[in-house]
Amino acid sequence: MRLHGVRVPHRKNTAKMSPVRIPIPETVTIPMLMHIGKPAKVVVKKGDTVKVGQLIGEADGMLSSDVHASVSGTVLKIEQRLASGGQKVDCVTIRSDGKQELCEQISPPEVTDYKSFVNALKHSGIVGLGGAGFPTFVKLSVRDLSKIEAVIINAAECEPYITSDTRTIIDQKHSVLRGIEALQKYMNVKRFIVGIEKNKGEAIAVFRRIAARTKGVEIKVLPSIYPQGGEKVLIYHILKRIVPKKGHPLDVGAIVLNVTTLANIADFLQTGVPLVEKCITVDGSAIKNPQNVIAPIGTSLQYLAESAGGFRQEPAKVLYGGPMMGISVPSLEEPVLKNTNAVIYLNEKDASPPRTTPCISCGECIRHCPFRLDPREICRSYQRRDTEALAHLQVDICMECGCCSYVCPANRPLVQTNKLAKLLLRDARNQKKEAES
């Protein structure tokens, strides 16, 4: 099976810009769900005094993640807000005292073996920082470590605009190296393969220096083809193996870790400070001064933009992430999340969708789909509400990369239809299970 994609404009305007730490905002609003899985349970109340790194949300179950205060100050309110995923989530708003005092209980975790390593990560609040935000301790909880043939370090960063991972590699190279060494020591991983696109020369040079001094590290320089950073795409291009439809990377001997996630693991093991801030690319046609910034989790997107020099034009659309897979936000009051690697502010011209015309059955969407799905037939089946056909067309394996919409000469919203079709199929399967139970 060949995997395809598209060549998108890079627009890596901030690749040469080391991140600037923004002033601490007056308030932060921190959701209890910033990852795949269940929300954390709020463990503070209105009026409580909190410090940086203090637990404010406790993981609720295996597929959940601790949440920590990103500023010191007072809990102003606890309320439910509509999250980017469409569900209502408890959020803790903290009024900063400007002191950024660290919680007294914070200290480097005691790690001596694999079990204590995973247990430490469980309390770090670290989730996958390059995508959906899968809790990292869960990903690294492997029953049989001998099944791990290679850890693939995802440094592809294939979306336009985004350079926060690139800056992590360049500015935190020692943390990246310590992250590799930690996995070598506690997980007995022998082989690390860095997947990085060829348009990142300075970052490639950093990894080559790491590889020269670290046994078991390989560099795989990949073509700059989107969506190179997709987990299954990266595994195929590096290992030439196909992850089964309902399988996981470990089924083909791999674990994939985003490079910034790896650096955060190392920093947590050294300091004990959980995930409370993010390096974020702030860019787009509406932003006056594109740059990379370091911001507390929970910072509003309005304040984030103001800290980057404000707007050159009023933004008509704001995205978490890049223009291909990013999520449009309803308000500038939305907060920076754990897995926010970029916020893109677009002006009216760039945000306006092109005029849609009828499908001409050219097949471009099929030719460029990484998994060779047929968005044309998926669209027709969705319009008929034909869930059997949608299952046959395997819409549920769509990675929602947007290649189909990007290449469609009729400008049809194919990826949006795929998303709706996946929801329709999921609901139909759930209804069938309920009926059978």
Q: Which of 225, 240, 271 is the last residue of a domain?
A: 271
**pLDDT digits over 345-363, tens only?**
999 999 999 999 999 999 9
330/334 Cα distance (integer angstroms): 8
118 and 262 assigned to the same domain: yes
**396 CB neighbour count, 10 Å cutoff:** 15
**pLDDT digits over 307-336, tens only?**
989 999 999 999 999 999 999 999 999 999
120 and 264 assigned to the same domain: yes
Q: Is residue 217 part of a domain?
A: yes
Q: Which residue has the higher pLDDT, 82 or 131?
A: 82
Q: Is residue 209 part of a domain?
A: yes
**Where do we find the tokens 């290649």?**
403
Q: Is residue 14 part of a domain?
A: no
pLDDT at 1 exceeding the cut of 50:
no
Supply the mean pLDDT for the chain. Answer: 95
**Where do we find the tokens 């919680």?**
103
Q: Is residue 223 part of a domain?
A: yes
Residue type, 168: T
- Report pLDDT for 436: 86
Give pTM, 2 decimals: 0.94
Q: How many domains does the chain have?
A: 2
375 and 259 assigned to the same domain: no
Contacts 24+ apart (CB under 8 A), 366-370: 367/4, 367/407, 368/4, 368/5, 368/6, 368/403, 368/404, 368/406, 368/407, 369/4, 369/403, 369/404, 370/3, 370/4, 370/5, 370/227, 370/230, 370/232, 370/233, 370/399, 370/401, 370/403
Q: Is residue 31 part of a domain?
A: no
CA distances from 377 to 24, 62, 309, 390, 421 (A): 50, 38, 46, 9, 11
- Report pLDDT for 363: 95
- Report pLDDT for 417: 97
245 and 118 assigned to the same domain: yes
Q: Dihedral sign, CA of 364, 365, 368, 371?
A: negative
60/73 Cα distance (integer angstroms): 25
**310 CB neighbour count, 10 Å cutoff:** 12
pLDDT at 2 exceeding the cut of 70:
no
What b/e sequence results for 182-219 when a residue is b if at least 16 CB atoms lie within 10 Å of its CB, and e otherwise?
Answer: bbbebbebebbbbbbbebbeebbebbeebbeeeeebeb
Instruction: Report the C-alpha dihedral over residues 344, 348, 351, 354, rounded to 10 degrees.
Output: -160
Percent of the chain, pLDDT > 90? Answer: 92
Q: Which of 251, 271, 291 is the last residue of a domain?
A: 271
Beta bridge mates, 196 = 221
**206: CATH:** 3.40.50.11540
Q: Which helix (H) or strand (E) holds 430?
A: helix 414-436
- Report pLDDT for 3: 52
pLDDT at 266 exceeding the cut of 50:
yes
Q: Which domain holds residue 206?
A: 114-271
Q: Is residue 405 part of a domain?
A: yes
Q: Is residue 6 part of a domain?
A: no
Q: Is residue 151 part of a domain?
A: yes
265 and 384 assigned to the same domain: no
pLDDT at 413 exceeding the cut of 80:
yes
144 and 258 assigned to the same domain: yes
Whether the CB-CB separation of 77 and 56 falls below 8 Å is answered with: no
Strands 88-96 and 217-222: what pairing?
A: unpaired
**65 CB neighbour count, 10 Å cutoff:** 33
Mean pLDDT of 285-289: 97
Closest among 93, 83, 69 to 39, alpha carbons compared = 83
123 and 261 assigned to the same domain: yes
**pLDDT digits over 45-89, tens only?**
999 999 999 999 999 988 999 999 999 999 999 999 987 767 899
Q: Which of 256, 271, 286 is the last residue of a domain?
A: 271
393 and 245 assigned to the same domain: no
**pLDDT digits over 23-33, tens only?**
999 999 999 99
